[in-house]
Amino acid sequence: MSLFEHSSFQYRETCFVLFPKENRPKLNSVTEAIESLGDRYKLGESESNDEGYLESISVFCPNDHAALDISYLDGEDVSEHLEELSEEFPSDSLEQSEREKWNKAQSFSARIDLFHFEEVSSEMESDEGLLDPGAMLVILQTIANLTGGVGVDPSAGTVV
């Protein structure tokens, strides 16, 4: 079940990792990488294709009042998204190392989306500020390292 359908979580933002399609990770590699981050991260439902490659996975981080829906995408949708993002993304404000990563990412044909959710309940208001972006950033960097890709946070205009 997607977190979009879960009443205890409210969608906040989307970050993604761009990478070469041939570097698509196996689901077990993703789960091992996330498990290596410690007990702070709890794995939820996951799905792979017939060859064992990642399709989707959910990750919960109760300490950060956060959760992530992570999903794989490739092909024309990625190319179209990159074209749109290139027009909107503030690449001229990036530091030199970030700009080099961004330029490299323009040739990639696969993407892993990280949909960031805040845990909410009837006892707390969603604007109380309990959401910690730490889980998103750690998982973003972990998946970028795993795929040899480039992590992008479009709302912050940053590249990792």
pLDDT digits (tens, 9 = 90+) for 60-76: 999 889 999 999 999 99
Structure pTM? 0.90
pLDDT at 155: 85
Residue type, 4: F
Query: Residue holding tokens 């698509």?
Result: 24
Cα–chain center distance at 85: 16
* DSSP calls for 53-121: BEEEEEEEEGGGTEEEEEEEEETHHHHHHHHHHHHHS-GGGS-HHHHHHHHHHTT--EEEEEEEEEE-B
Per-residue pLDDT for 135 more than 50?
yes
Q: Residue 28: which of 115, 111, 146, 152 has the closest Cα?
A: 146
Percent of the chain past pLDDT 70, that is, above it, reads 93
CA angle 131, 69, 97 (to 5 degrees): 75
- Reading the block at residue 150, the tokens are 């480039």
| Residue-range domain boundaries for the chain | 3-159
The residues near 160 (Cβ < 8 Å, ≥ 6 apart) are 101, 137, 140, 141, 144, 150, 151, 152, 153
Each residue's pLDDT tens digit, 81-124: 998 888 887 778 888 999 899 999 999 999 999 999 999 875 55
Q: Encode 105-142: b = buried (16+ Cβ within 10 Å), e = exposed.
A: beebebbbbbbbbbbbeeeeeeeeeebebebbbbbbeb
Strand bridging mode 42-48 / 150-153? unpaired
- Residue 156 pLDDT level (bands cut at 50, 70, 90): confident
pLDDT at 13: 94
- Pick the more confident residue, 157 or 59: 59
